[in-house]
């Protein structure tokens, strides 16, 4: 009878051709549990409730302290048609003619920038893209500065700035589209490069106009607009921006499934029955219209369309149906509070809204880049 093999330190080595037991790996190779995401619908409902409370805060907080009870009474009187004392006419004008349209417009602009940021990042498949990468905002700046510095379209009165900015934004859109389009359609790389190049050109024209401005106050107003400002908000500018943003949100929501396919690449999208060139043209028109409208009423406000989509994806995942449900509320909530900070931090002076978003966005962007487990489209 052959002796049994011994086990332990003194055991002879196992034959090279014999069966070999595999050691358990030091790190488990089992499929790890997926990252837990917040359900999109409850999160959107919570953000909507927070947005309503923030709108009230935006009306109550300002350089002149009206008091919370007084603000609530004035809001209730305006909504129900209640009667007020004569000495409250000035406070009523501050609440209903200055602060409320400004706060509502901030919510509309924030929602539009966040939603178009989601669409642009999918359209050009670039995680660093934002609504201004197509050169639309720089084109709008040319028209706005033509009004502020040169007095163009003065016959339009209070509508001159918005009409000129929106018209020049549309013209910029047409120029970018004509330059980027080829016989093979609109490719992401050509869109980004063309939009960036056109943006530099429009910025040069704007800088030349500011440099040649004869009035110092006009140049200051132009710089304030270029950095983003909601100080000129009126009830006349709210409906146009709101309708355009709502229409853009509806179009993007209907295209959520196709956006998922487009984000995976043109070949994958085509294999799933999605025409990437046609979808990219539609997205280009929608994002350009929304961006041109919000820039016309608020100036160039950066970082909202860049950061909000990334933060929302971290919370609810990458599916565009979920992202487009949450991102508008998140963008609206962010910009409402940014506007509150901009007009209260150094009251009675007012900071440009774009300065506050940059102060918040740069460290947030850097922290997001350093976050383990999150990558901007790659390692």
CATH topology of domain 53-63+88-370: ABC transporter involved in vitamin B12 uptake, BtuC (1.10.3470)
* N residues, the chain: 379
**By mean pLDDT, which of 9-13, 128-132, 332-336 is the weakest?**
9-13
- Biggest CA-to-CA distance, the chain: 116
Q: Please, which residues bridge with residue 199 across strands?
A: none
**By mean pLDDT, which of 17-31, 44-58, 233-247, 260-274 is the weakest?**
17-31
- How high does pLDDT run on average in the chain? 83
Q: Is the pLDDT of residue 182 over 90?
A: no
pLDDT number for residue 365: 77
**By mean pLDDT, which of 21-35, 158-172, 292-306 is the weakest?**
21-35
Q: Which of 38, 36, 110, 33 is nearest to 323 (CA)?
A: 38
pLDDT number for residue 36: 65
- Sequence-separated (6 or more) residues with CB below 8 Å from residue 314: 368, 374
Query: Based on C-alpha coordinates, what's the Rg of the chain?
Result: 27
Q: By percentage, how much of the chain surpasses pLDDT 90?
A: 31
pLDDT number for residue 361: 85
pTM for the model: 0.83
Extents of the domains making up the chain = 53-63+88-370
pLDDT number for residue 215: 65
- The DSSP-derived string for 283-309 is HHHHHHHHHHHHHHHH----SHHHHHH
Question: What are phi and psi for residue 158, nearest 5 degrees?
Answer: -65, -15
What digits encode the pLDDT tens for the residues 154-163? 777 767 877 8
Q: What CA–CA distance (Å, rounded) separates 199 from 205?
A: 10
For 100, 136, 182, 196, 324, the CA distances from 309, given in Å and listed in that order, are 27, 19, 29, 21, 9
Residue 99 exposed, middle or buried by CB count within 10 Å (0-12, 13-18, 19+): buried
Do residues 134 and 176 touch, judged by C-beta distance below 8 A? yes
Helix axes 136-150, 276-298, angle to 10 degrees: 30
The more confidently predicted of residues 206 and 326 is: 326
What digits encode the pLDDT tens for the residues 339-373? 999 999 887 888 899 899 989 888 887 887 776 55
Q: Which of 335, 333, 270 is nearest to 301 (CA)?
A: 335
pLDDT number for residue 30: 38
SS3 state of residue 185: strand
Q: Which of 345, 189, 219, 216 is nearest to 280 (CA)?
A: 189
pLDDT number for residue 28: 36
Q: What CA–CA distance (Å, rounded) separates 221 from 218?
A: 5
Quick one: average pLDDT of 245-249?
A: 95
Residue 182 exposed, middle or buried by CB count within 10 Å (0-12, 13-18, 19+): exposed
The more confidently predicted of residues 374 and 140 is: 140
What digits encode the pLDDT tens for the residues 105-144? 999 999 999 999 999 998 888 877 888 888 888 888 888 8
Q: DSSP label at 17?
A: T
- Sequence-separated (6 or more) residues with CB below 8 Å from residue 136: 169, 172, 173, 176, 195, 287, 288, 291, 292, 295
Q: Is the pLDDT of residue 180 over 80?
A: yes
Q: DSSP label at 181?
A: -
SS3 state of residue 132: coil
Q: What CA–CA distance (Å, rounded) separates 323 from 228?
A: 25
Q: What CA–CA distance (Å, rounded) separates 314 from 368?
A: 10
**By mean pLDDT, which of 1-10, 216-225, 265-274 is the weakest?**
1-10
Q: What CA–CA distance (Å, rounded) separates 43 from 24?
A: 42
Q: What CA–CA distance (Å, rounded) separates 175 from 277?
A: 18
**By mean pLDDT, which of 73-87, 240-254, 300-314, 315-329 is the weakest?**
73-87
Q: Is the pLDDT of residue 252 over 70?
A: yes
Q: Is the pLDDT of residue 293 over 60?
A: yes
Angle at 95 between CA 93 and CA 98, to 5 degrees: 75
Look-up of token digits 């383990």 = 372
The more confidently predicted of residues 301 and 183 is: 301
Q: What CA–CA distance (Å, rounded) separates 343 from 28?
A: 54
């Amino acid at each position: 009878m052959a002796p049994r093999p011994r086990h332990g330190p003194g055991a002879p080595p196992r034959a090279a051709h014999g069966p070999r037991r595999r050691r358990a790996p030091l790190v488990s190779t089992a499929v790890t549990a997926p990252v837990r995401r917040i359900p999109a619908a409850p999160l959107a409902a919570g953000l909507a409730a927070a947005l309503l409370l923030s709108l009230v805060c935006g009306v109550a907080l300002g350089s002149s302290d009206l008091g919370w009870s007084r603000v609530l009474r004035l809001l209730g009187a305006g909504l129900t048609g209640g009667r007020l004392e004569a000495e409250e006419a000035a406070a009523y004008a501050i609440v209903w003619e200055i602060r409320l349209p400004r706060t509502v417009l901030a919510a509309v602009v924030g929602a539009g920038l966040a939603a178009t940021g989601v669409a642009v990042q999918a359209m050009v498949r670039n995680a660093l893209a934002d609504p201004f990468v197509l050169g639309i905002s720089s084109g709008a700046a040319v028209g706005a500065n033509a009004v502020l510095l040169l007095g163009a379209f003065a016959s339009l009165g209070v509508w001159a700035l918005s009409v000129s900015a929106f018209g020049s934004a549309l013209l910029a859109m047409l120029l970018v589209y004509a330059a980027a389009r080829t016989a093979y359609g609109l490719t992401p790389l050509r869109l980004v490069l063309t939009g960036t190049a056109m943006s530099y050109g429009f910025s040069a024209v704007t800088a030349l106009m500011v440099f040649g401005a004869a009035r110092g106050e006009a140049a200051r107003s132009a710089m304030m607009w270029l950095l983003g400002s909601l100080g000129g908000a009126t009830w006349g500018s709210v409906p146009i921006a709101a309708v355009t943003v709502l229409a853009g949100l509806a179009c993007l929501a209907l295209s959520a499934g196709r956006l998922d396919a487009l984000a995976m690449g043109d070949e994958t999208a085509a294999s799933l029955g999605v025409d990437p060139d046609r979808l990219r043209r539609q997205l280009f028109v929608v994002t350009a219209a929304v961006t041109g409208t919000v820039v016309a009423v608020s100036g160039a406000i950066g970082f909202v369309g860049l950061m909000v989509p990334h933060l929302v994806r971290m919370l609810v995942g990458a599916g565009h149906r979920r992202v487009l449900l949450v991102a508008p509320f998140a963008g609206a909530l962010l910009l409402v509070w940014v506007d509150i900070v901009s007009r209260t931090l150094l009251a009675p002076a007012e900071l440009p809204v774009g300065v506050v978003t940059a102060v918040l966005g740069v460290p947030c962007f850097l922290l997001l880049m350093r976050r383990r487990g999150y990558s901007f489209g790659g390692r």
